[in-house]
Amino acid sequence: MIRPALSISATMFGLLAFLSPAQAKVGSCDEPILLGTTISETGPFSTLTDNWKAMTENFFDEINKQGGVNVASCGKKIPVKIVIYDDQSNPSTAVSLYEKMASVDNVDFFVGPDWTSLGLPVPTVAERHKIPIVAANVATPSAYVRGLKYMWGTPYPVVPLWSQRYFEMLAQADPKPRTIFFVTHDNPVMKGITDFWAPKAEEQGIKVVGKETFPADAKDFSAIILKIRAARPDIVYIASFDNVSAPLVQQMRQQRVKAMGVHHTMLTGSLARQVGKDIEGMTGELAWYPGVGGKHSELVGRVLERSKVDMFESIFTMARIGSYLVMVQAIEKAGAVDREKVREALTNGTFESPPGPIVFDDKGFPTSNGAYTIQIQNGKVVVVWPQQTGKAVWPAPSWN
């Protein structure tokens, strides 16, 4: 029975062998700033993170090309290194990896992760180790009301601002839409959007004539479409992730759904490719689009081009880049590679990003990230509100 003891000890020491040698001391001016993050490169969420690893590496490479981050207390620019692991879309794996980055890799700060299921467990680790974390695509408000002092997030867009510009556009639309039907994907963020914007629509004088929810793996939408056809709304508002709604859009076309406008909260290149020409005339939201300009838009544009990431395809990218931008600016604002100073800089801070300023409230929730309204016109993506590169065609062509 001595042998089991030896075996267990051997296993444990084997596990301890995963410890890489300790990294830089926090706050040193001679070592690069070390950031840590995980990306869902495998697992169910990997469909949303195409090429993000390359994009991340390119982003910090671009920053380092300019010398790095300007740290006042060191009197110079300091380059940035980032440690990237794959969290496998799994919360448990993510938590372990952030522990590793905190206690073994000794990173200075955290950026990421994404998604609600990771964005709720991971920040408790950051809180424990008192490491500021700027999460990326964590949009559920419930993640921000837990009293955590070291967490911020940069989801694009946030639920209260998601369709703000779209409804602004509708207010000016002529002929006036009078009724709206909400079709929602059973997902916290999408349901949050419907719950927020349905009353807003009513306030604007557009009556809500239907609300239907569908599960993520729904294939046959006949039931919902029959209800839409019965209600004859002026607007069909689809609050859904892109891929799960491809059959919905296809079947809406096949079953001859007619409306003045069909809006989608996540109109992406992936959806457009799957649906083909049927997507013509639909409106959607986009966090940002090169050509729209904005602060640091050149940097971001270069990064996207180098890593071949298309904002229209990979709609969550802006949030990721946002978290990197915020972190870099926070360090500059703090003037030192010091966790507490950076925390102060982040609290209630305002930071620049291409779509507009990111303003954190006292919970770390960004209050100012709205989206641009786009429309597919002749197969192309056109930003229609605010009127940047195009004008909306109303009522939408091919749906009327």
Closer by beta carbon to other proteins, 46 or else 368:
46
Beta-bridge mates of residue 238: 183, 264
Asked if residue 129 lies in contact with residue 122, where contact means CB atoms within 8 angstroms, the answer is no
Least Cβ distance, residue 312 to other proteins (angstroms):
13
Closer by beta carbon to other proteins, 177 or else 192:
192
Least Cβ distance, residue 54 to other proteins (angstroms):
11
Q: How far apart are CA 120 and CA 117, in angstroms?
A: 6
Asked if residue 368 lies in contact with residue 357, where contact means CB atoms within 8 angstroms, the answer is yes
Closer by beta carbon to other proteins, 98 or else 372:
98
Tell me which amino acid residue 127 is: E
Q: How far apart are CA 299 and CA 325, in angstroms?
A: 10
Closer by beta carbon to other proteins, 124 or else 388:
124
Least Cβ distance, residue 14 to other proteins (angstroms):
6
Least Cβ distance, residue 188 to other proteins (angstroms):
4
Beta strands in the chain (DSSP E): 33-39, 69-71, 76-78, 80-86, 109-111, 133-135, 151-153, 179-185, 207-214, 235-239, 261-264, 283-286, 350-351, 358-359, 372-377, 380-385
Closer by beta carbon to other proteins, 47 or else 377:
47
Least Cβ distance, residue 213 to other proteins (angstroms):
6
Three-state SS at 285: strand
Beta strands in 75-164 (DSSP E): 76-78, 80-86, 109-111, 133-135, 151-153
Least Cβ distance, residue 47 to other proteins (angstroms):
5
What would the two tokens of residue 178 be? 């009078």
Closer by beta carbon to other proteins, 95 or else 299:
95
Closer by beta carbon to other proteins, 255 or else 400:
255
Least Cβ distance, residue 295 to other proteins (angstroms):
30
What would the two tokens of residue 162 be? 């998601």
Three-state SS at 368: coil
